[in-house]
Amino acid sequence: MPFSLLKYGLRKDYPFEEDADIPSAHKLRDSYDVVIIGGGGHGVATAYYLAKYHGITNVAILEKGYLGGGNTARNTAVIRSNYLTPEGVRFYGASVELFQGLSNEFDFNIMYSRRGQLTLAHTESAVSAFRQRAEINTHYGGKSALIGPDEIRKLVPCLNMNPAHMPVLAGLWHIDGATARHDAVAWGFAKGATQRGVELHQLTEVTGVDVENGKVTGVQTNRGKVRCGCVVQAVAGHSALMAEKAGFRLPITVYPLQAMVTQPVKPFIDPLVSSPALHCYVQQTGRGEIVLGSGSDPYPLYNTRSTLPLKESLLSNAVALFPFMSQLRMLRQWAGITDITSDYSPIMGLSPVQGYYLDAGWGTWGFKSTPICGKTMAELVAGGGTVPDLIKPFSLERFERFAQINEMGATAASH
């Protein structure tokens, strides 16, 4: 038993006040230097890095529900950096690196688990696409390789190599692929941020944005008006709606994304396995549950209902890949609403409103970027709007210049 647990058992009054990870509600003041809209992973991470690296602590995070209760709570926690573009690989690679140190940085275990991710190719064209991703990844220092059926069998002996008339030809083996306890990531960031003086206001919904002469001056909330020097918008599925409140439009379409989980069983599979062709990915959590995910629902919708057709298709594909999983029992099915851009890359940086910074378009893949987003968004705020190099390519105006960062092929059912 680790030493750190002894103190809990030996202390009678545990937990003390100071053991609280998240402080209780504050009074909402009428002015802050920085307002962050959205208390998801991205919002709290931004606050954390603002406080930690830039000494900016007069910050309020405004969250309409509860901490990390949006997509941060709903996501399937795939962490990887095997993207398709140099910009993407660099950016997500930096995130993976940050992730690895978070538990110790927070003094809070986020249960980062490096399992490796295996993406399956069932057609020659997928093999070429994966070859490209392996090459790009390696070129920029990542750890990915195109592997053949024999190696795949060794990594995942229980995989059916000929599912649904689509033989597994090769796999993209991404050694850095990982997962973590998703809630804990938001809590860890919140803990670190609030300890440094940032205020987290849950049940506080931003209902309007005040803009004067093209510059943001404050926000309106269900708890009153708040003035501020600048705003960071990090509201994921609600990005387009929020931007509208600030007076501009975002090239974002919203689709529901569903996921599901089974009852826990003893560990039998280590890597994260995904098959884009079968729209299916699978991983076993630390609790022993199998988490299953798929592609987005086929039509735009602001709704988080679950559907039977998706469950049927996802599970029949999962069974094609892992026939024995037919014996598992389903526990829960849920959905989130995701903000998808046309190039499957995020929108980060400046907006048409001065002092109003964007962190949006995270679609089905933004959990893995939580730390690096927070870090770069904090730099952006602290630098008074000087855009850090790492996120320059993801600017909103790239759509005007048709300089999209195409990650479509690397996103799909792998997230």
Window 247-286: contact mask with other proteins (x via CB under 8 A): ---------------xxxxxxx-----------------x
Kindly identify the residues of this chain, within the stretch 210-239, that bind ligand FAD according to CB under 6 A: 234-238
Binding of ligand FAD by 72 (CB under 6 A): yes
Q: Applying CB under 8 A, which part among 128-136, 147-155, 216-224, 372-380 lies near other proteins?
A: 128-136
Question: Of residues 30, 124, 244, 397, which one binds other proteins by CB under 8 A?
Answer: 124
Window 358-377: contact mask with ligand FAD (x via CB under 6 A): ----x-xxxxx---------
Least Å distance between CB 263 and other proteins?
5
By C-alpha distance, which of 61, 66, 68 is closest to 33? 61
d(CA 297, CA 295): 7
Binding of other proteins by 222 (CB under 8 A): no
Residue 307 interacting partner from ligand FAD, other proteins, none (CB closer than 5 to 8 Å by kind): other proteins
Least Å distance between CB 291 and ligand FAD?
9
Question: Of residues 34, 78, 318, 358, which one binds ligand FAD by CB under 6 A?
Answer: 78
Of how many residues is the chain composed? 415
Binding of ligand FAD by 206 (CB under 6 A): yes
Token look-up 């089905």 returns 364
How many alpha carbons fall within 13 Å on the CB side of residue 165? 0
Kindly identify the residues of this chain, within the stretch 250-279, that bind ligand FAD according to CB under 6 A: 257, 259
- Amino acid making up residue 8: Y
Instruction: Give DSSP secondary structure letters for 175-197.
Output: TT-EE--HHHHHHHHHHHHHHTT
Task: Take residue 304 and report the two structure tokens written for it.
Answer: 């988080």
Grouping H, G, I as helix, E, B as strand and the rest as coil, residue 353 is coil
Phi, psi torsion values for 286, nearest 5 degrees: -60, -25
Grouping H, G, I as helix, E, B as strand and the rest as coil, residue 119 is strand
Window 318-337: contact mask with other proteins (x via CB under 8 A): xxx-xxxxxxxxxxxxx---
Least Å distance between CB 174 and other proteins?
15
CA distances from 232 to 17, 241, 361, 382 (A): 31, 15, 14, 12
The sign one gets for the Cα dihedral 178, 98, 170, 133 is positive
Token look-up 């005007």 returns 400
d(CA 191, CA 365): 24
Residue 236 interacting partner from ligand FAD, other proteins, none (CB closer than 5 to 8 Å by kind): ligand FAD
Binding of other proteins by 183 (CB under 8 A): yes
Residue 409 interacting partner from ligand FAD, other proteins, none (CB closer than 5 to 8 Å by kind): other proteins
Q: Please, are residues 321 and 278 in contact by the beta-carbon 8 Å criterion? A: yes
Q: Which residues contact 191 (CB under 8 A, 6 or more apart)?
A: 21, 22, 106, 108
Residue 37 interacting partner from other proteins, ligand FAD, none (CB closer than 5 to 8 Å by kind): ligand FAD
Task: Take residue 112 and report the two structure tokens written for it.
Answer: 């980062």
**Size of interface with ligand FAD, in residues (CB under 6 A):** 40
Binding of ligand FAD by 133 (CB under 6 A): no
Longest dimension (CA), the chain: 63
- Our CB check for other proteins shows the closer of 65 and 352 to be 65
Position closest to ligand FAD via CB: 40
* Residues in touch with ligand FAD (CB under 6 A): 37-43, 62-65, 69-72, 74-78, 205-206, 234-238, 242, 257, 259, 293, 336, 338, 362, 364-368, 415
